[in-house]
Amino acid sequence: MKWLIRAVHMGASFWADQEGPTVTEYAVMLALIIIVALAAITLLGTKVKTIFTDAEKGLPSGGGPP
């Protein structure tokens, strides 16, 4: 129960402190950066997979020595 009281006091001091909004702004910016990065990785990943698949199809099959 003491941990709950301590958490409430920390939350209250967080909201009363002037640095609270700044931390929140940084958290929002970080979340947006992560979302954009994941979207870019997803889009690039699909294109890179297509490139490697096309390159694989262009290679001769490895059936062993002639």
What pLDDT does 35 receive? 96
Helix axes 19-58, 2-16, angle to 10 degrees: 100
pLDDT tens by residue, the chain, 66 residues: 777 788 777 777 766 666 667 788 888 999 999 999 999 999 898 889 999 999 888 888 765 565
Q: How far is CA 53 from the centre of its chain?
A: 26
Verdict on whether the full-model pTM lies above 0.85? no
The domains of the chain are located at: 24-52
Helical H segments across 1-66, by residue range = 2-16, 19-58
